[in-house]
Amino acid sequence: MAKATKETEKDITNKDIEAGNPDQAKPLFYKNPMPLDAKKHKDLSLIKNFSLEFAKTVNAVPINLIEMSQAAHFYPITFTPDESATPVAILGMRDKENLFMTDDLLWLQNTYVPAYVRRYPFIFSEMPGSEQLTLCFDNSPEVIEEKGEQRFFTEDGKPSQLAQQALEFCKSYHAAAQQTIPFSKALLEHDLLIEREAQVSITGGRKINYSGFRIIDQKKFNELDDKVILEFRKKGWLPFIYAHLFSEFQWNKLTTLLNEKIAKESK
């Protein structure tokens, strides 16, 4: 299978795995990621219109910098509390609950679907001892079958159109992830991120607290030196910062979706 030239760092959402090494943590959604190989996987296919059940119990997913303006219209955007400060879209308020997943396992209509979800079951991984990023797939029976309509390879062993499109999508995703890394680092370097907790009121007068995330402190951002603001502007980061700040209003949307879900559960 074709490979992409390695860039400065791994895909930030796949930095903890090296496919084939069971001692490494697997990225979100992926149960059995492995390199796509023309000899080993010549008969494998992607199940047509496979279920999105893999995302049903996830209440947050990573997003890249270039997605933030779109995602801000649908999800609260926060940053992980670890050293990577990865931007994430919040999908639910309760543990193991994606409020944007319908009962028939479809994404909520007319809602932006994060690229991390759309990329599945493909992913890039740095192989041990290699200087390249390799296209991998999640070898799960929920999404993979033998000799189906959507083959990975043609009869003569060449990558199919599906495999080529997957490679291009993963290339684009990886490039976007690389653009996100310096943005997150800059937020940390300028001490712009603060711990935050969201509290929402739900049916029956109860409250739910959602914690363990960070947001940009608007006061600190407004107090940045003009030189730093100019640097952010030159790098094109200001629209994404404003998108993040704007996304705060989407906590209200999550509250509405949660109350609708609770009402259904009580019937």
How far are the Cα atoms of 115, 189, 198 from residue 179, in angstroms, in the given order?
A: 15, 16, 28
* pLDDT-derived band at 209, boundaries 50, 70, 90: confident
Q: What is the pLDDT of residue 128?
A: 62
* Cβ count near 127 (within 10 Å): 17
Q: 45-63, pLDDT tens digit by residue?
A: 999 999 999 999 999 999 9
Here the tokens at position 18 are 């090296």
* Over residues 228-245, mean pLDDT: 97
* Over residues 206-216, mean pLDDT: 89
Contact 200, 207 (CB under 8 A): yes
Distance CA 29, CA 32 (A): 10
Q: What is the pLDDT of residue 132?
A: 80
Give the mean pLDDT of the chain.
88
Contact 179, 8 (CB under 8 A): no
pLDDT exceeds cutoff 90 at 188: yes
* Over residues 135-163, mean pLDDT: 94
Q: 81-139, pLDDT tens digit by residue?
A: 999 999 999 999 988 999 999 999 999 999 999 999 999 999 998 766 666 889 999 99
Q: How many CA atoms lie within 13 A of 101 on its CB side?
A: 20
Q: How many CA atoms lie within 13 A of 68 on its CB side?
A: 28
Q: In terms of Cα–Cα distance, which of 167, 176, 124 is closest to 10?
A: 124
* Cβ count near 183 (within 10 Å): 19
